[in-house]
């Protein structure tokens, strides 16, 4: 959240009358179910941001090495699962700044749904709630899009903005440099800035005063909380990166768990936490670390980020795109081979030339892993060899030309741990035909 401070009157305007999330129509028949976003994965991203700050002078601020290291971390995750990424440079306060833009292949390029949040911290601290939380949540939702091999009707774009804390510099630069024709392709922008405040509120950006079309975004975000927790509308004004999009006439929406404003007694009664205490006492301070997070709020907010994307993107199982999932956990012992089975039925003829294999593996050294997809007749397709890649976990998709194999039958995922000392677990895998 930007350094811009508010007057007491403006602070009061940030907190609108409490509203229970209104009911809205359910997803269209045949729409894909919204996945539950792994809190553990989001926490792992926050831990990485904390480590980056620790190793780079205690912050991830514009012009500092911790910011670029944060951007490189996010970019590597996205590149590994098939996003088209680009780094956009700008200059502010005598230092080079960077935005990261990531596009998921497919969808209508003239109808873009964009999600974003700022990646920079203030110079005083690591910025884990502000805005590691929004950045990590968006990242994990983007990775889940890849994991699910989502084929939305709209084109999906994600943005991580630089120098927000200096006055929304990165997002403003991005919007201003877009030709008018490109601006017109972005039909909605959703902003996620501070989504894990330690004394949390559940705020949805109000559509009042925003471009036409913003009310539908507000209502979608509110609906994501239905049956979970009450929400309030808030007028964030020009305090975060949605502002540049709104000035360009693009419908905007977003979520917020609160910053320096204090929680009222009514809000504490509704949400828990402490009345008379700021939503985030460590706002813009050195104590905004990985311990400055309410995990329940972070989990709920990230799930609603996913809900909004899946609801707004126009999803459905594409023709010939039926998906079969095996989600039973399977331990991966050190230097051993295991197999997980998945039964496919109801598919006519052979498997496609671009059979999609998705894997979600927790591991302490993914370079040890050798992975084969085994067809019902025993034919093995090698999708991954062992390597010197020292990263942990493996959440990605592979494309296999299995057109010579009957689609129906028992498929197996064979995983061998080829190196010593490291172990893991297969969380789930799927085939999409």
Question: Cβ contacts of residue 125 below 8 Å, gap of 6+?
Answer: 53, 58, 59, 282, 284, 285, 286, 287, 288, 289
Give the Cβ contact number of residue 272 at 10 Å: 14
Q: Which of 188, 192, 182, 205 is nearest to 245 (CA)?
A: 188
Question: Cβ contacts of residue 84 below 8 Å, gap of 6+?
Answer: 102, 103, 105
- Per residue, the 3-state secondary structure of 191-232, as one string, reads EECCCCCCCCCCEEECCCCCCCCHHHHHHHHHHCCCCCCCEE
The DSSP 8-state label assigned to residue 273 in this structure reads: S
Helix axis angle, 295-312 to 214-223, nearest 10°: 130
**Which tokens sit at 159?**
């943005």
Cβ–Cβ < 8 Å for 292, 139 = no
pTM score, two decimals? 0.71
- The count of residues in the chain is 433
**Residue 306 burial class via C-beta count within 10 angstroms: exposed 0-12, middle 13-18, buried 19 and up:** buried
pLDDT at 315: 61
CA atoms within 13 A on the CB side of 357: 24
Type and span of the H or E element at 309: helix 295-312
* φ, ψ of residue 14 in degrees (nearest 5): -65, -25
Rounded Cα distance between 73 and 55, Å, is 14
Cβ–Cβ < 8 Å for 310, 113 = no
Type and span of the H or E element at 137: helix 134-147
C-alpha pair distances (Å), 180 with each of 250, 253, 401: 12, 21, 41
User: Which residue(s) pair with 340 in the sheet?
Assistant: 413
pLDDT at 314: 84
> Which positions are catalytic?
164
pLDDT at 35: 92
* Domains detected in the chain: 39-313 (3.40.630.10), 323-432 (2.60.120.260)
CA 74, 79, 83, 86 torsion-angle sign: positive
pLDDT at 10: 37
The DSSP 8-state label assigned to residue 293 in this structure reads: -
Type and span of the H or E element at 323: strand 323-326
Residue given tokens 């009911």 in the structure block: 23
Cβ–Cβ < 8 Å for 18, 270 = yes
Rounded Cα distance between 126 and 81, Å, is 27
Q: Which of 138, 17, 155, 146 is nearest to 70 (CA)?
A: 138
Mean pLDDT, the chain cut into blocks of 10 residues (433 residues total): 46 36 34 84 98 98 98 97 96 98 93 97 98 98 93 94 98 98 97 98 97 94 95 94 98 98 98 98 98 98 97 64 86 94 89 85 91 96 88 82 92 94 92 87
Map residue 146 onto helix, strand or coil: helix
Rounded Cα distance between 384 and 379, Å, is 15
pLDDT at 323: 82
């Amino acid at each position: 959240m930007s350094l811009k401070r508010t007057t007491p009157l403006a602070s009061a305007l940030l907190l609108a009358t409490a509203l229970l999330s209104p009911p809205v129509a359910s997803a269209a028949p045949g729409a894909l179910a919204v996945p539950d976003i792994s809190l553990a994965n989001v926490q792992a991203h926050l831990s990485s941001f904390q480590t980056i700050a620790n190793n780079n002078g205690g912050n991830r601020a514009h012009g500092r090495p911790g910011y670029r290291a944060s951007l490189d971390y996010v970019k590597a995750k996205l590149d590994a699962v098939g996003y088209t990424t680009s780094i956009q440079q700008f200059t502010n306060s005598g230092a080079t700044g960077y935005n990261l833009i990531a596009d998921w292949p497919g969808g209508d390029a003239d109808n873009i749904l964009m999600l974003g949040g700022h990646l920079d911290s203030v110079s005083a601290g690591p910025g884990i709630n502000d805005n590691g939380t929004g950045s990590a949540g968006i990242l994990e939702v983007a990775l889940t899009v890849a994991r699910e091999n989502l084929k939305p009707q709209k084109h999906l774009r994600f943005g991580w903005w630089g120098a927000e804390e200096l006055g929304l510099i990165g997002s403003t630069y991005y919007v201003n440099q877009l030709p008018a024709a490109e601006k017109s392709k972005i039909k909605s922008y959703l902003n996620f800035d501070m989504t894990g405040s330690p004394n949390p509120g559940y705020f949805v950006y109000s559509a009042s005063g925003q471009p036409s079309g913003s009310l539908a975004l507000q209502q979608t975000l509110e609906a994501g909380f239905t049956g979970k927790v009450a929400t309030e509308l808030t007028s964030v004004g020009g305090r975060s990166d949605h502002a540049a999009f709104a000035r360009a006439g693009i419908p905007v929406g977003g979520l917020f768990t609160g910053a320096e404003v204090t929680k009222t007694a009514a809000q504490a009664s509704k949400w828990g936490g402490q009345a008379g205490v700021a939503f985030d006492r460590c706002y813009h301070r050195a104590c905004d670390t990985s311990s400055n997070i309410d995990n329940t709020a972070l989990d709920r907010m990230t799930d609603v980020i996913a809900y909004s994307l899946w609801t707004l993107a126009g999803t459905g199982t594409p023709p010939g795109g039926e998906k079969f999932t095996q989600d039973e956990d399977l331990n991966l012992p050190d230097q051993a081979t295991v197999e997980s089975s998945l039964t496919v039925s109801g598919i006519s003829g052979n498997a496609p030339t671009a059979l999609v294999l998705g894997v979600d593996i927790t591991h302490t050294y993914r370079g040890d892993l050798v992975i084969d997809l085994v067809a019902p007749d025993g034919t093995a397709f090698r999708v991954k060899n062992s390597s010197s890649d020292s990263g942990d976990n493996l959440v990605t998709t592979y494309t296999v030309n299995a057109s010579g194999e009957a689609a129906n039958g028992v498929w197996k995922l064979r995983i061998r741990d080829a190196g010593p000392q490291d172990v893991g677990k297969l969380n789930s895998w799927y085939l999409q035909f």
